Amino acid sequence: MSTAATAPTAGSSATNASPPPPPPSSSSSPPSPARRTSAVGWEEYFSTYPAPPGTDTAGARIDAFVAFHARAQRRVVLVTSGGTTVPLEKNTVRFIDNFSAGTRGATSAECFIEAGYAVIFLHRQFSLQPYSRDYTHSKNCFLDYMHARADGTLEVDAKYSGHMKEVLAKYQKAKSENLLIMESFITVEDYLFLLRRFTTAMSVLRENAMYYLAAAVSDFFVPKDKMIEHKIQSSGGHLELQLDPVPKVIVPLVETWASKGFIVSFKLETEPAILIPKSRRALERYNHQLVIGNILSTRKKLVTMVTLDAVETIELSDAELAQGVEIESRIIPDLVRRHDLWIGDGAPQHGAP
Ligand code: PMT
């Protein structure tokens, strides 16, 4: 089923979209398979569309990272982070974006490393990254952190050096122990193919793998065979978009790709009343271990850990927020405890840890 849409997906915002109609000229019409009218399932999706360039080489890097940590019997977590884009044209000028700065993912990655996990950080290109996150997207220009000495050499300004020294030490430890690998996506298609490749690579880790799906993944997209080649022209007035549903990849992820691991998905809503029912429904439907529910406006202060047996909240006080406590520093230890319990229980495929 195609979905007529003039607005982006929930939690998404249209980027750089002006209002033209797609021209029905033969040069920009998609080829005949585009006449398909029903939504594709995930099997058909992966058998119809080729993997984006770079999927195999990124996959090979993950194979090596997984093998290294499998030998060390270390737990590995895949952290997905940032929003996926949905291009509207093959030569992309315009696209729809899903909201996410990547704060949740980047902060969580640091906390997982602190807890002894190795991290595969699959993130949206140029979104926040672990360790550099405090500096790259700050209001300061990087030059503001520096200071010229009388002898002409540069040093970190004393105002910032305490914090930077701490972060640097953590970053260097993660690097020297090979605890972090970062790979990036831009479009929802990149994300889907990399997710399949990486989770399949991690499956050899069995219960020592955790999957922490914090990326904001588009629910609607324009499949390649329905996408026009060139920039949509604005000469015809308003623009109507037909977006197809993106196949729910959490289905094969739980059933096949990552079936032996501990799987945590996120549920993002803007309406508090539907958060818990929808989180529970996701658990019942997909049969994984945990859903973390969050509301867009309060996501840095409050999250809800939902299993089939219990609903527990993790909340920071205003004082903690003011002191700069990050909610991920509470979420990750809670997840590590749940992962321990789940492994202790023999890593059952279904049910609450
Ligand atoms: O980065 P920040 O600014 O800190 O924001 C963090 C966050 C709010 C983005 C994050 O905490 C969060 O909630 N991420 C998940 C957002 C999301 O995609 O929620 P959803 O309700 O649309 O999807 C639910 C689940 O279905 C997700 O696990 C997703 O991976 C999965 N999904 C979604 C679409 C799709 N086609 N297939 C899927 O499997």
For 10-25, how does the pLDDT look when each residue is reduced to its tens digit (9 = 90+)? 333 333 333 333 333 3
158 CA → ligand 1 middle, Å:
39
pLDDT of residue 39: 75
Strand partners, 120: 78, 181
Ligand 1, atom 35: nearest CA belongs to which residue? 248
User: Which of left, alpha, beta for 206 (phi over 0: left; psi -120 to 50: alpha)?
Assistant: left
Token readout for 176 is 């020297």
ipTM: 0.96
Angstrom distances, CA of residue 98 to CA of 9, 185, 191, 220: 7, 13, 13, 10
Residues of the chain with pLDDT > 70: what percent?
Answer: 88
CB neighbour class for 240 (10 Å; exposed up to 12, middle 13-18, buried from 19): exposed
Task: Please work out whether the CB of residue 219 comes within 6 Å of at least one atom of ligand 1.
Answer: yes
Give the residue with greater pLDDT, 160 vs 8.
160
Average pLDDT of the residues in 212-230: 96
269 CA → ligand 1 middle, Å:
9
3-134+181-260 — its CATH code?
A: 3.40.50.10300
Task: Please work out whether the CB of residue 12 comes within 6 Å of at least one atom of ligand 1.
Answer: no
The average confidence (pLDDT) of the chain is 89
215 CA → ligand 1 middle, Å:
5
pLDDT of residue 37: 52
Task: Please work out whether the CB of residue 103 comes within 6 Å of at least one atom of ligand 1.
Answer: yes
Whole-model pTM: value is: 0.89
d(CA 78, CA 114): 15
Domain map (residue ranges) of the chain: 3-134+181-260
